[in-house]
Structure 1
């Protein structure tokens, strides 16, 4: 087992954590990444190095995600085949919980497919308001995006089997958004997400955390915020054209279909190139066909909802707004999970050969 600890401007909680690890597991390998803390913190890092840790780092602060990927690279090079448990440096994780997560990773390695293990907190007791709110908000958004219910999406105590370290280094993100991106992309990569209950510990109201509520929350929620911005732009285009067509025509069907045809083309272009990170990996023709198939389904639902609301004497504009809001979540989930996901190796091979994945023989191999 390797214990990986990213640290930025750590206080004495870091040496205390290392000492507790040494007392419980004297021979455990501990890797500490100095995330550009600067000369003022050299004494702290020298102290943990004296306790037998491998201390690596770089001059400028790059963020937690960058620090973790630096650590994964060091471990892959120097300790290949070893499982990794990541813990925070601020004393929020007990050695008992670290070892429980390590044991869970070890058991998965022998019993089934690769999976990451999350140390999940119950958030009971004296929990800082920003931590409680942040986790609740992220949990709701994560469930919306993936359909998976994870009670603690922001936990820093996580275990990874050695087999998925190469994948961990490919996932986008250099700061706090990285750990959420791992959860968002795990299913697409074929990895399960398991959990182990751990204690909820906040020292001094989490004063040691370097999380910036506004800037880092914006990074974490960026995929959904970009989607909402794209959807709002398309909604404005759609609504303006809907009102124009309604004014010049007595046909509700013409107004809905005409407005949606234009706004959906705008929405598809923006989502594919800007909103969803893997959108450009997909061939535009195939993805476009699937996208506009979704548009047709949503259009039928939209038309039905507007007609039903108008039937109860609701004006056209309020009826349209209510219908759009009701279908927004459905659109996001389908696009995030199915249309603009990371291309699998099989899809990439099929695209290179000019075939669809279903047309390509399942036993095809590339030879050097």
Structure 2
């Protein structure tokens, strides 16, 4: 097993973690990736090398995802088919938890092992809110709940290294992309409860709330944008056809047909770009099978809300789209593209 620690501008807590890991299991290789910290931090990394760690250095800051992929690539070339456990450098992952993840990797091949924090006790508000938000979005998008989507303590079996080097993303979004890509690649998850440790209100974190959150949510934002344009088109056509025909069924079907063709083109080109390798003759029938299901559901819900309950058509349409949004994203990611 190799312990991989991506590190940017670390302090003495990195050396304390290395010391504790060496005391627990002195023979475990420790690989540290200095993600462009600069000369001011050279002494800390030199001390890590003197303690027996291998240190790889990026000339400039490239992001946590890039640092992880540098480490994964090194292990697959030099690690003699080692399993890998990734931990953060700020002292928030305890050595005993790191080794518990390692044991779980050995017992659960072809699984991503997640060190799952329970968020009990005093937790910084931004950390509690951030994880709650990503947990909810991930569950809505995939139908698979995960307790801790933002954990940096993760374990991987050696036969996953090639795939790990191919997952898109260079910064904090890489770890979310990994969770999104794993089911399609055939990997499931195992969650191992770990201690929730925040030091000095998590001041050492290099996570940028606005910029990095936008990167993490970018796959969902692209889908929301595409769906938003399609929904506007669908809205306009629905009311236009309803005005022309006074027939709700014809209006729903006509509006959905045109907007779905637009949506398929947008999603294939800009949202689920990894699906461009799937031939249109495969993805198109899958997509329009989904369209038929959604169209039936759309009509049924609109009829229920508008015709049966008497909710105004505009409000009924909004409610219907909210119900079907998460379902559509999940099916398109898993089965269409």
Residue number in structure 2 paired with 1:268: 264
Residue number in structure 2 paired with 1:363: none
- Contact 1:8 / 1:36 at 8 angstroms: preserved in 2? yes
Tell me how far apart the structure 1 counterparts of residues 326 and 104 of structure 2 sit (CA, whole Å). 34
Of 126, 132, 141, which residue of structure 2 is paired with 1:130? 126
1:292 aligns with 2:288: yes
- Contact 1:2 / 1:83 at 8 angstroms: preserved in 2? yes
Residue number in structure 1 paired with 2:97: 97
1:262-305 Cα distance to aligned partner (Å, 9 max, x none)? 11111110111111132211111221111112111111111122
- Contact 1:116 / 1:158 at 8 angstroms: preserved in 2? yes
The 5 Å alignment of 1:157-196 reads: 157-196=153-192
Instruction: Go from structure 1 to structure 2 and tell me whether the alpha carbon gap of 1:107 and 1:296 turns closer, same or farther (over 3 Å shift).
Output: closer
Residue number in structure 2 paired with 1:252: 248
- Contact 1:116 / 1:194 at 8 angstroms: preserved in 2? yes
How far residue 310 of structure 1 moved from its aligned partner, in angstroms, is: 2.2
How far residue 315 of structure 1 moved from its aligned partner, in angstroms, is: 2.5
Of 142, 145, 148, which residue of structure 2 is paired with 1:149? 145
Tell me how far apart the structure 2 counterparts of residues 339 and 181 of structure 1 sit (CA, whole Å). 18
1:69-128 Cα distance to aligned partner (Å, 9 max, x none)? 1011111111121111110001000111111111111233xxxx4212111111000100
Q: CA RMSD in A?
A: 1.2
Residue number in structure 2 paired with 1:44: 44
Of 196, 201, 219, which residue of structure 2 is paired with 1:200? 196
Tell me how far apart the structure 2 counterparts of residues 192 and 313 of structure 1 sit (CA, whole Å). 44
1:29 aligns with 2:29: yes
- Contact 2:82 / 2:157 at 8 angstroms: preserved in 1? yes
Of 292, 313, 317, which residue of structure 2 is paired with 1:316? 313
| TM-score where L is the length of structure 1 | 0.89
Structure 1 residue runs of 4+, over 3 Å off?
A: none
How far residue 316 of structure 1 moved from its aligned partner, in angstroms, is: 2.2
Tell me how far apart the structure 2 counterparts of residues 300 and 116 of structure 1 sit (CA, whole Å). 37
The 5 Å alignment of 1:45-84 reads: 45-84=45-84
Tell me how far apart the structure 2 counterparts of residues 4 and 315 of structure 1 sit (CA, whole Å). 56
* Structure 2 unmatched runs, 5+: none
* Structure 1 unmatched runs, 5+: 341-368
* Length, aligned pairs only: 336
1:28-54 Cα distance to aligned partner (Å, 9 max, x none)? 211100001111111111111111110
Tell me how far apart the structure 2 counterparts of residues 303 and 148 of structure 1 sit (CA, whole Å). 27
1:146-182 Cα distance to aligned partner (Å, 9 max, x none)? 2222101111111111111111111111111111111
Tell me how far apart the structure 1 counterparts of residues 115 and 104 of structure 2 sit (CA, whole Å). 10
Tell me how far apart the structure 2 counterparts of residues 157 and 318 of structure 1 sit (CA, whole Å). 44
